[in-house]
Structure 1
Amino acid sequence: MNEIVMKTPQNIEELRNDLNRIHGKNYILAGGTDFVIKMNKSNIYNGTIIDLTGIHELNYIIKEDNFVKIGANTKIADISENNIVKKYASCVAEAASMVGSVQIRNCATMAGNVANASQAADCIPALVCLGAKVKIMNGKGTFKEENVEEVVLGINKNSLKNNEVIVEILIPIRDNTYKSAFYKIGSRSSVTISKLNMAVNVKIRQVIEEVSVIIGSLGEKAFRSTICEEALINKKINQELFVNFKEKLKHQVDLSIPNRSSKVYKREAILGIADEIIKKLF
């Protein structure tokens, strides 16, 4: 007999107990914006749904222990407008501000964005770019931390076990020699799924001393473009640098989707993204 069981924990202890009692498939619901679509497409008629929305202690954004810490129940709209995030993780705030529509941002969570592991997710490239981690709790109440890029395995695939849930996102705080930026291109200016997105983080003094370039919607998961990073590292800021960087981006598209019909479009689209990110960073 098909049956869906709904659990609505009101605090961390109740969540732990619900995770510990799971037998069979479970689904963690935070904002639910992705899950409703998944239910319809995958014909989900049985399993346990654990709804996190009643756990108010997971709704926070704080600066602590040299991290920006974001609770798993914090809405993407709140993240996009938060001054702590804007100051210490600007590319994350920018990515959050571009997620879907106002209605989606008011419901969706960043932890859910990571766990859903869409190849077109906006928040994942920004988080990976800054070396973010997630704090994970299991049904025994044990906690561990993993890098976001290790949790996201592929299209709608994550590394979480059946009795595990993301409870917090941790973004390292760096000094003011670092700058980050995010931009995306989609089919519409709002309510859009990314056709291509990118996050860049740089440390600049006399030259670019450190760099991270993360591209999304160009494969099964957001990935680090080492050829683009090599084009920027230890270089002085000038027009020649920007031209070379954009050429490497086009080459990255060729390498990533050599036989896809979208290659021609994405070779041009990534140049537009590069222009916007260059304006923000330099």
Structure 2
Amino acid sequence: MANKIIQPDNMAALLESLQGTGKKIMVAGGTDVMIRMRANPPEEALIIDLSHMEALKSCDINEEGLRIGAMCTMTELWESPLVQHAAKVLSCAASQVGSTQIRNRATIGGNVANAAQCADTIPALIALDASVELMKANGATRRMKVEAFVTGIGRTLIDETEVVTAFLIPAWNLGKAGGYCKIGSRASVTIAKVNCAGIFSFSGGVIREARVAFGSLGQRGFHSSLVSEGLTGMTLDALKTEAFIELFVQQVEQAIPGRASLAYKRSAVKAVAVSIVEQAISEYRG
């Protein structure tokens, strides 16, 4: 049998497409999945094209926080005044995904569900303590932290009868100063060899709270308690020294001991650390 392609344009049609057995392939922007399908064509799969799902393309703030539809593109996240104000670190991460053409197609849902260890938005979402919302074929939803959702390279906890519908950033993390940086082999359109995101609360020239997350260190992004707790309580004067950089170096050493890439990443993360902190301080000072 040949593959079947459907293009639901409302939630009822989408939920109906999730029912039944058999292999299902979700296509959001298609920037990653289409390449994989071309290299390894699926057989007898139901291909669900989500590009017409307007219900999954909105961003809004409510009492819970910022809700971002899974079909929002990287360009939309980068250019959205709402996202820039409420979650600038995510907007910055989205701005560094691939080329202009890729950002115009790639979606936040696809970027996370693809679960590449170098994904730009995953460290930003983890730093923001964001959750992913999944919807089942019967319309029931469940949520889990993005950090828990991604379990490895190309692996997540999504079920075949579920679709990613949104991401939720808690209200208490909105509007915080932050920064995102990645180091790759090229100046632009590069794949991260080290990437990192952080959000910070400042008061009286002191970091009162920090949440820092890494990507490209191991098989999935993660929140670094070592760096977050180490930065908390540091003064702006202390951030002018190299002492804080050692926290980032220690995290690299802890995450990938014995790896051939350790020496490179231990050096590269120093520039990442400086960039993230400088971005956050600049935003804090306005």
Q: TM-score range by the shorter chain?
A: over 0.9
Q: Which amino acid aligns with 1:258?
A: P
Alignment of 1:141 with 2:156, yes or no, is no
Secondary structure at 1:194 match in 2: coil
Q: Which amino acid aligns with 1:158?
A: T
Q: Which amino acid aligns with 2:131?
A: K
The aligned residue for residue 25 of structure 1 is 23
Is the 1:179–1:201 contact (alpha carbons within 8 Å) kept by the matching residues of 2? yes
- TM-score (normalizing by structure 1): 0.94
- TM-score (normalizing by structure 2): 0.92
Is the 1:208–1:233 contact (alpha carbons within 8 Å) kept by the matching residues of 2? yes
Is the 1:227–1:248 contact (alpha carbons within 8 Å) kept by the matching residues of 2? yes
From 97, 100, 120, give the equivalent of 2:98.
100
Name the CA distance, whole Å, in 2 between partners of 1:229 and 1:248: 9
- Offset, 1:173: 2.9
The aligned residue for residue 232 of structure 1 is 231
Alignment of 1:182 with 2:184, yes or no, is no
Is the 1:231–1:244 contact (alpha carbons within 8 Å) kept by the matching residues of 2? no
* Percent of aligned pairs sharing the same letter: 37
* C-alpha RMSD of the superposition: 1.7
Is the 2:65–2:170 contact (alpha carbons within 8 Å) kept by the matching residues of 1? yes
Superposition pairs of residues 177-256 of structure 1, within 5 angstroms? 178-206=176-204, 207-239=206-238, 242-256=241-255
Name the CA distance, whole Å, in 1 between partners of 2:174 and 2:39: 45
Is the 2:63–2:171 contact (alpha carbons within 8 Å) kept by the matching residues of 1? no
Q: Which amino acid aligns with 1:174?
A: W
Is the 2:66–2:174 contact (alpha carbons within 8 Å) kept by the matching residues of 1? no
Is the 1:136–1:167 contact (alpha carbons within 8 Å) kept by the matching residues of 2? yes
Is the 2:134–2:165 contact (alpha carbons within 8 Å) kept by the matching residues of 1? yes
**Uncovered stretches (5+) of structure 1, i.e. residues with no partner:** none
Is the 1:232–1:241 contact (alpha carbons within 8 Å) kept by the matching residues of 2? no
**Uncovered stretches (5+) of structure 2, i.e. residues with no partner:** 282-286
| 1:12-52, Cα deviation, whole Å (9 max, x unpaired) | 1100000013x222111110111012223444333111111
Superposition pairs of residues 74-89 of structure 1, within 5 angstroms? 74-89=72-87
- Structure 1 residues 158 and 11, CA gap change in structure 2 (3 angstroms): same
- Offset, 1:53: 0.5
Name the CA distance, whole Å, in 2 between partners of 1:256 and 1:134: 25
Q: Which amino acid aligns with 1:70?
A: I
Is the 2:86–2:176 contact (alpha carbons within 8 Å) kept by the matching residues of 1? no
Superposition pairs of residues 87-166 of structure 1, within 5 angstroms? 87-166=85-164
The aligned residue for residue 280 of structure 2 is 281
Name the CA distance, whole Å, in 1 between partners of 2:66 and 2:144: 15
Secondary structure at 2:210 match in 1: strand
Q: Which amino acid aligns with 1:19?
A: L
